[in-house]
Each structure stands twice: as C-alpha cells, then as structure tokens.
Amino acid sequence: MTDASLNAGSYNIPNQTEFDDYFALLKPRVMSLVVFTASVGMLAAPVGVHPIIAFASILFIAIGAGASGALNMWWDADIDAVMKRTAGRPIPNGKVSPHEARNLGLWLSVFSVGMLAITANFLSAGLLAFTIFFYAVIYTMWLKRWTPQNIVIGGAAGAFPPMIGWVAATGGISVEAVLMFLLIFMWTPPHFWALALFMNEDYSKAGVPMLTVTNGKKSTRLHILVYTLLLAPIAISLSFTQLGGPLYFCASLALNLWFLFGAFKLFARDETIASDENYKLERKFFFFSLVYLFMHFLALLCEAFVDFAFFSWPVVI
C-alpha cells in the first residue's frame, strides 16, 4: 500500500481540514486582545524584562487563551450551530471534528502553561492554568447555560491576561495588577450586554440565559448603566497608582464620561424606537466599548514609556 492509496480515499472530501481551521478554533480576535492587554501588563511593570523572555511569555499567554477558546468551541458546538454569529465556526460548519478541537485545546493548555512556567515563573503559569480552567469549565460548562449572571462572573477569565503579564515580569501580584483586572472585569458586562441587546434573537434561539432573554431588555439597559457607573471609579483610580499619571487621568476621565453618557442614552431609549432603528445606538455603544478598553490600556502603555508628570503627580494607591 502506497501513500497515494492512503490519500486516495480522503482527497475528495470537500471539508478537508486545513491549518486555518485549526487556527480559527483559537479565536484569533480574542487572542489579539489578550496579547495587547498582557503586553501592557508586562511592559508597564516596574521591572525590566529581557525582550526574548517578554516575547515568549506573551506568546505562551496567547496560546493559553487560544486553547481555552478551542475548548469553548468544543463544548458549545451545539449553541454555535444555532446562532447566526457563530454558525460559521469550524465545528458547526464541519471543518473540524469536536474531539479534534477538544484534543487541540487540552494539549495547547498543557503546552502553554508548562512553557510559561519555564519562561517566566510558576505564579504566572498557575494564573494562566486557572484562567483556562475558569473560562473552559466555570464559564463555558457551568455558568453560560445556567445563570443570566454568566458574563458577570465569567468576565474574570478575560480580565486575567494583564495580571498574568504583570506577574510574569514582577513575580508577584500588586494593587496595580488587581486594578487592571478589575477594569476588564467590570467592563465585560456592559460590553456583552450591549451585544446581547441587538443579538437577543440568537441567544434566545440557542437557549442561552442571557440577561436580555431572562429579564428583558429594559432590565438589561438598567444593568448596563449600573455597571458603567461602577466601572468609572475603578478605571479612573488607576491614575493614582504607579501606573497612572496625568495622560491616563485625562484619557480615562473623558472615556468614562463618554461611556456613561452612552449608557444613560441606552437606558433612556424606547425599545420600539431601538428596534425600528435596528439597534443603531446599541451597536455604536458596543463598538465604543472596544475603543474604551483599548484606549485605557494604550494610555497605560504611554505612561510607562513617557513621563507626562511635568508637575508632582499624586500616587496615593
């Protein structure tokens, strides 16, 4: 039997798995956000890291995030198949089999945690392992199908990367790392609930108990406003740590005022008008929430490299 005969049976299969399909399992867009926030956490730390160690650490954090994404796609394949937004993912469209996705997720988890332990330190590797466990097991397997508070608690998984970056550089957890964690943790609910407002049909069809499905859109709009109010002091308080400074303070103040204004407009909005306008404002708010987070971390990065304190800046936290 030759290689040719081995191949002969499979090369006519239309859904032959390609490298890109495996890569799509790792949720590249989520990975890019993880790379950015983890890099800021690492670069803003008051400890210099060798460029090769920094690059490798960020790479393994990103692979860990990708591994949890693959495990999420494996477990949620039934939901993904029903939802319009996710129906094109590799498992629902038949490009990758569920057990392949599970195996890829498990092996990449072990690989990324082990390599981060060797490259950086055991604490950061432990945090990465906990993040993967939290996202794949606590959020995906348990919270997502059980409670409308799923993304509130599950948001912790997305909030860990800057803390892992910080720990990889410094070897310890400090108030700055906790505040960066809280910034993403409190930002996650308004971000996803805004998405749920205009994707409600998808979640409803899939039987996912999002707040919009269980409590209705009016209640969701109120929740967005409350969480945005709680988020603002946390985001601004980073200004008064070693990480912050006048540039971050001005950026954070402006972004939070804008975000709060948007949340208030969403709250005051009539559902019929929102539906008639195809949730234009909700989509805008969702898009702005991405800009909001990106700009906060960009301001932190700028503060790390340029000293904007032309006068004495109070560091009280």
Partner 1 sequence: MALSKSHPQHKRRQRSNIIIGALLLGFVGLVFAITVVKMSNGAMLEAFDHSYRISVTPEQND
Q: How far apart are CA 42 and CA 156, in angstroms?
A: 19
Choose between 113 and 183: whose C-beta lies nearer to partner 1.
113
Using CB under 8 A, pick the residue from 1, 19, 99, 272 that binds partner 1: 19
Choose between 115 and 157: whose C-beta lies nearer to partner 1.
115
Binding status of residue 18 toward partner 1 by CB under 8 A: yes
User: Whose CA is closest to 183, among 240, 254, 236, 111?
Assistant: 236
Binding status of residue 7 toward partner 1 by CB under 8 A: yes
Choose between 124 and 289: whose C-beta lies nearer to partner 1.
124
Residue 295 burial (C-beta neighbours within 10 Å; 0-12, 13-18, 19+) = middle
Choose between 119 and 239: whose C-beta lies nearer to partner 1.
119
Binding status of residue 1 toward partner 1 by CB under 8 A: no
Dmax of the chain from CA atoms?
A: 79
Choose between 4 and 316: whose C-beta lies nearer to partner 1.
4
Using CB under 8 A, pick the residue from 118, 257, 290, 291 that binds partner 1: 118
- Report residue 150 as tokens: 């799923």
Using CB under 8 A, pick the residue from 119, 121, 200, 289 that binds partner 1: 119
Residue 238: DSSP 8-state: G
Q: Which of residues 49-88 bind partner 1 (CB under 8 A)?
A: 50, 52-53, 56, 59
* Residue 251 near residue 300 (C-beta atoms within 8 A): no
User: Whose CA is closest to 230, among 290, 194, 182, 288?
Assistant: 182
- Report residue 169 as tokens: 């550089």
- Degrees, nearest 5: CA angle 154-155-157: 80
Q: Which of residues 37-56 bind partner 1 (CB under 8 A)?
A: 50, 52-53, 56
Residue 87 makes CB contacts below 8 A (sequence gap 6+) with 80, 81, 93
Residue 85: DSSP 8-state: T
Q: How far is the CB of 22 from partner 1 (least distance, A)?
A: 9
Q: How far is the CB of 162 from partner 1 (least distance, A)?
A: 22
Binding status of residue 29 toward partner 1 by CB under 8 A: no
Stretch that binds partner 1, among 1-9, 93-101, 131-139, 257-265 (CB under 8 A): 1-9
Q: How far is the CB of 150 from partner 1 (least distance, A)?
A: 34
The binding site for partner 1 (CB under 8 A) comprises: 4, 7-8, 11, 16, 18-19, 50, 52-53, 56, 59, 118-119
